[in-house]
Amino acid sequence: MKEYKKIALLACWLVGMAQVHAQFRKYSNEFLNIGAGARGLGMGAAQVASVQDATAGYWNPAGLVQVQQHMQLTAMHADYFAGIGKYDFVALAIPTKSNNRTLGISFLRFAIDDIPNTLFLVEPDGSVNYNNITSFSSADYAFLLSYSQQIKNSSHQKLSIGGNAKIIYRKVGSFASAIGFGIDAALQYQHNDWLAGIVLKDATSTFNAWTFTFTDREKEILYLTQNNIPLKSTENTAPRLVLAGAKKVKLSSTWQLLAEANLNCTFDGKRNTLLRTSLVSVDPNLGVEISRKNSLFFRGGISNFQKALSDADLSNQKTVWIFQPSLGAGFKTGNVAIDYAFTNLANQSSPLYTHIFSLKMDLIKKTK
């Protein structure tokens, strides 16, 4: 009974913190909502309740404690918008000797290279000089330092808590850069074949401070073209609460089914989501995984429910519900696992589906 009280108290605190900071919400750091690992992306990003590997630092840091005895390394690369953007994720889980605590380090990078800079395309005399076009890159980086601890571990129940300290660095050519900080709080609970998870992202609101650097010539061009010349700016990312539940079902002696549902709750007014009120908007993620002897996996999921105009009859302009499906598969042999996902990384109604591969490896020390 005491464990259930702990869960209820922590859940109430997470919900309360999300509502307290709702007024600070601005759209920022959206690259942190892309996802991590082909397993999770193949399941429609439904991971908070069931994640138990090194990607937990991204999905639910409380699940990191399930990585025990050996360090685990995972990496993923994906092209975004047909190769225009690059997205990379690397994570390392480091269990302690006691096996009831695990540390994690995660690195994310989203970048668009070779962006044309046409600021000096037009000469002072009005002529166009294409030789003046240069290029620059826009890149977002995030470092997650994760901690997880097991509170209860019995034959029927498991309870763990965790958190992230986030360091964010964003750079747009030589013009602008930003640095930000934030924390996440989480828990994960398992009772027999039932699993649950709660994550409060940006628990204290993630703060980004931008600085801008322009040369005198660039400032002159911006002034003549009636563009504002920014000096400094700040933005805050308010909390996002994720509630999750999952169930394991034994299909036979060799096959097992895992089904999970996540509810992404935001508190900044009505959004184009499945459930929306003035207090909270809820966007669900649903995923399934069928596994054979914990070595062969088949996955699927749906996410990003939205209302959109129907293409069937443009004159009628009816609205219909749309969603984004995803598929995935994977296999594990020894201490190595390779996963694949086919999903829409853009998280938009436009079909921008991408093939994604990720590698996971248990770093087992050789015995003498």
Q: Tell me the per-residue pLDDT of 9-60, one tens digit each, with 9 for 90 and over.
A: 444 434 444 444 434 444 678 888 889 999 999 999 999 999 999 999 999 9
Per-residue model confidence (pLDDT) at position 352: 72
How far apart, in whole angstroms, are the C-alpha atoms of residue 65 and residue 8? 21
Per-residue model confidence (pLDDT) at position 358: 95
How far apart, in whole angstroms, are the C-alpha atoms of residue 158 and residue 168? 32
Average pLDDT, the chain: 84
Per-residue model confidence (pLDDT) at position 215: 81
Token pair listed for 49: 């309740």
**Residue pLDDT, tens place only, 303-324:** 988 877 766 555 666 777 788 8
Per-residue model confidence (pLDDT) at position 60: 96
Per-residue model confidence (pLDDT) at position 9: 40
Per-residue model confidence (pLDDT) at position 80: 73
Query: In a 10 Å sphere around its CB, with 0-12 CB exposed, 13-18 middle and 19+ buried, how is residue 160 labelled?
Result: buried
Q: What angle do CA 139, 141, 144 make, to 5 degrees?
A: 170
**Residue pLDDT, tens place only, 178-228:** 999 999 999 999 999 999 999 999 888 888 888 888 888 878 777 777 777
Is the pLDDT at 156 greater than 70? The verdict is: yes
Token pair listed for 116: 């044309």
Q: Is the dihedral of CA 56, 172, 137, 25 positive or negative?
A: positive
Per the domain annotation, does 282 fall within a domain? yes
Per-residue model confidence (pLDDT) at position 8: 45
**Residue pLDDT, tens place only, 75-117:** 999 887 667 788 999 999 999 988 789 999 999 999 988 788 8
Q: What percent of the chain has pLDDT over 90?
A: 47
Query: In a 10 Å sphere around its CB, with 0-12 CB exposed, 13-18 middle and 19+ buried, how is residue 75 labelled?
Result: middle
Which of the four pLDDT bands, split at 50, 70 and 90, describes residue 5?
Answer: very low
Instruction: Give the residue from 211, 307, 264 showing the smallest Cα distance to 32.
Output: 264
Per the domain annotation, does 335 fall within a domain? yes
Rounded mean pLDDT, 286-307: 92
Per-residue model confidence (pLDDT) at position 277: 86
Which of the four pLDDT bands, split at 50, 70 and 90, describes residue 3?
Answer: very low
Per the domain annotation, does 211 fall within a domain? yes
Per the domain annotation, does 368 fall within a domain? no
How far apart, in whole angstroms, are the C-alpha atoms of residue 59 and residue 63? 8
Please name the amino acid found at residue 266: T
Instruction: Give the residue from 118, 162, 117 showing the smallest Cα distance to 144.
Output: 162
Per-residue model confidence (pLDDT) at position 102: 95
Per the domain annotation, does 125 fall within a domain? yes
Q: How far is CA 147 from CA 62, 101, 282, in A?
A: 8, 7, 28
Could you tell me if 166 and 204 are in contact, meaning their C-beta atoms sit under 8 angstroms apart? no
Per-residue model confidence (pLDDT) at position 21: 40
Per the domain annotation, does 27 fall within a domain? yes
CATH of the domain at 67: 2.40.160.40
Per the domain annotation, does 51 fall within a domain? yes
> In three state form, how does the secondary structure of the chain look?
CHHHHHHHHHHHHHHHHHHHCHHHCCCCCHHHHCCCCHHHHHCCCCCCCCCCCCCHHHHCHHHHHHCCCCEEEEEEEEEECCCCEEEEEEEEEEECCCCCEEEEEEEEEEEEEEEEECCCCECCCCCECHHHCEEEEEEEEEEEEEEEEEEEECCCEEEEEEEEEEEEEEEECCCEEEEEEEEEEEEEEEECCEEEEEEEECCCCEEEEEEECCCHHHHHHHHHCCCCCCCEEEEEECCEEEEEEEEEEECCCCEEEEEEEEEEEECCCCCCCCEECCCCEEEEEEEEEEEECCCEEEEEEEEEEEEEECCCCCCCCCEEEEEEEEEEEEEEECCEEEEEEEEECCCCCCCCEEEEEEEEEEECCCCC
Domain total of the chain: 1
**Residue pLDDT, tens place only, 337-362:** 999 999 887 655 556 788 899 999 99
How far apart, in whole angstroms, are the C-alpha atoms of residue 166 and residue 247? 30
Range of the domain at 259: 2-363
Please name the amino acid found at residue 169: Y
